[in-house]
Amino acid sequence: MHFTKMHGAGNDFVVLDLRDGRPPPSAEMCARLADRHFGVGCDQLLTIEPPRTSGSVAAYRIWNADGSSAGQCGNGARCVAAWLVRAGAAPAAGEFVIDSPSGRHRVLRDDAGQFMIDMGIPRFAPADIPLHGFSEPQDPYLVPLGEGQVAIGAVSMGNPHALLEVEALDDADLAGIAVALQRHPAFPESVNVGMAQVLAPDHLRLRVYERGVGETLACGSGACAAVAILDRRGRVQATHGVRVSLPGGILTVRRHADDGHVWMAGPAVFVFEGAWS
């Protein structure tokens, strides 16, 4: 089984080429490949497959480190785009389209050569996240937790996200709160949990604890979710572009005022090639 190891701002992937129609690895095999001690090691495994919609160059699916599937991965989308360009399956310049589990995504290159991904329109309706116990969008949602409650923003970017805004990101107990929220009945499909510290209207710091993985060095859909929630609060100005500083690097997120689509740009790096036997 040949693979490519890649990362986007430290969020790392094992990429498999399944365009010949081979089935994806089992959940057990995905977990073995993702193991950092006995496998290749990654946050997620990406399978590149034949396109599912007309006009798309390819499709991809996402498997978390524990073998569970995911609906979206922004850093993974950029790595898939870079992989397809290097393989000659997508143009090196201009726009092309790829299919993710959550829909179609336009891809462009920015002036710095980074890939920009159209991540779609944020969905705030509780039923779309999904978030149980609320009939209408709220900000914040007050979710009972332990003997008290926690105030969160919530949105779907093709996968569910909860966000807590904090004053001191380095001191925050991300893992403790994230695990509790991921097990909470309010999130029937679990949830990716982010903590954000706003530095300026065009700059924030972010940490994300992903479902099925744990805390990652970067989360592309989490960066888009954080900007979407904070833009809705008036804390950042997404139409001007927001730099999102994560432990592994910087992503740029911008909301287009004309159609509400959120675009994300950042690095997509090839690390090495290998074969799993």
DSSP 175-217: HHHHHHHHTSTT-TT--EEEEEEEEETTEEEEEEEETTTEEES
Q: Are residues 61 and 157 in the same domain?
A: no
The 10 Å Cβ neighbour count of residue 211 is: 21
Q: Are residues 135 and 45 in the same domain?
A: no
Q: Are residues 210 and 86 in the same domain?
A: no
Q: Are residues 102 and 153 in the same domain?
A: no
Q: Are residues 151 and 99 in the same domain?
A: no
- Residue 80 sits in a domain whose CATH number is 3.10.310.10
Q: Are residues 138 and 220 in the same domain?
A: yes
Query: Interior CA angle at 128 toward 122 and 130, to 5°?
Result: 115
Q: Are residues 91 and 183 in the same domain?
A: no
Q: Are residues 100 and 199 in the same domain?
A: no
Active site residue 73: yes
Q: Are residues 176 and 242 in the same domain?
A: yes
Task: Say how far apart CA 123 and CA 104 lie, in whole Å.
Answer: 16
Active site residue 219: yes
Q: Which of 42, 79, 219, 224 is catalytic?
A: 219
Q: How many CA atoms lie within 13 A of 212 on its CB side?
A: 25
Binding site residues for substrate, as ranges?
A: 11, 44, 64, 74-75, 159, 192, 210-211, 220-221
Q: Are residues 245 and 149 in the same domain?
A: yes
Q: Are residues 105 and 6 in the same domain?
A: yes
**Number of domains the chain is built from:** 2
Q: What is the pTM of this model?
A: 0.95
Structural domain of 77: 2-120+267-275
Q: Which of 42, 73, 79, 224 is catalytic?
A: 73
Task: Say how far apart CA 45 and CA 272 lie, in whole Å.
Answer: 15
Tally: H helices and E strands in the chain: 4, 18
Q: Are residues 105 and 169 in the same domain?
A: no
Written as tens digits, the pLDDT of the chain (277 aa) is 999 999 999 999 999 999 999 999 999 999 999 999 999 999 999 999 999 999 999 999 999 999 999 999 999 999 999 999 999 999 998 999 999 999 999 999 988 889 999 999 999 999 999 999 999 999 999 999 988 999 999 999 999 999 999 999 999 999 999 999 999 999 999 999 999 999 999 999 999 999 999 999 999 999 999 999 999 999 999 999 999 999 999 999 999 999 999 999 999 999 999 999 8
- Amino acid letter at 227? V
